[in-house]
Structure 1
Amino acid sequence: MKYFAYLAIMVLLISVAALFYLQRPDGQTWLTSDGISSKSNQLTEQMVALSSDTLAMAATLVSETSQKVVESITNESSVATTVIYKWQDQQGQWHYSDQPNPEGTSEKVILDPRDITVVAAEDTSILKGSSKTTNMSLMPNSGSVYDPVVMKKLFEDAEQVKEQLEQRTKSLDETH
């Protein structure tokens, strides 16, 4: 196999070298060092032109984007703020509303959407004593891992696996 690879490489080298000596019908050779040099220079010039154009477009894009970012930061009127009111009742509970407390004083809170982070809520159905999961199988999308039904099934499956491993070990020990 190694000799075949050497042979294939040699055939390719001889074929390329032959193009410098074989002549076309017009008497010129197929390849010349001047032809290769001029073609290489043309390709180099094209690459430089393309990279210059690409660099200019990237600089323009960065400039426009930074201008938009600066405008969005400095232009406060473009951000719609929300006003809410909070107050505490006699039991110490805090209340939040879009209307002030009609029975007392309220603290005005201004919400800026740029300061708010939205996080997906977890399944809290177990806290209410109800479960969305009625399926006894442990599936990736079967609700919370804290679901008692899922936990019970998990422990039962673990016990079954443990028993099967003990039986397998016992049978292997008996065969040896």
Structure 2
Amino acid sequence: MKYFAYLAIMVLLISVAGLFYLQRPDGQTWLTSDEITRQSSGIKEQMVSLSSDMLARAVKVVSETSQKIVETMTSDSSPEAIVIYKWQDGQGQWHYSDRPNPDGKSQQIVLDPNDITVVAAEDTAILKGSAKAANMSSLSPTPSSVYDPAVIKKLFEDAEQVKSTLEQRTKTLEAAK
């Protein structure tokens, strides 16, 4: 195997070196150092212009966003009510959006920002059982392949757990109304 690797590398080097000596039908060689220098300079110029364009766009987006944030923070302290729309599709799945359902009827819900509490995300292992069990599972060795049956089984179990949790939350939200 080691000799095969050496042989492959040598063939590659000879092929690249041959491009400097072999001639095209017009008498020029396929590859010259001047051509490499010219093309690399062109690529460098393109990269510099692209990066400066991207930098200018990023600066513009950051300045616009910071201006909007400052305007929001300096405006009146009582935020406006937020309107969301709710509708149910043919499969019985509820949808929530900032735009009404384009295909049918939707319910308008007005949210008072003063009543909304944002909580930082925490360890979700408690949804599956105990945090201690989650820590134990994270210590297990990683599977060797994505196609490992144990990985696929765990993926389906996690998906079922998420589905049941979301259904339970939807029922709780419906009951609260």
Task: Give TM-score, length-normalised by structure 2.
Answer: 0.48
Q: Which has the higher helix share?
A: 2
Which is higher, the Rg of structure 1 or of structure 2?
1
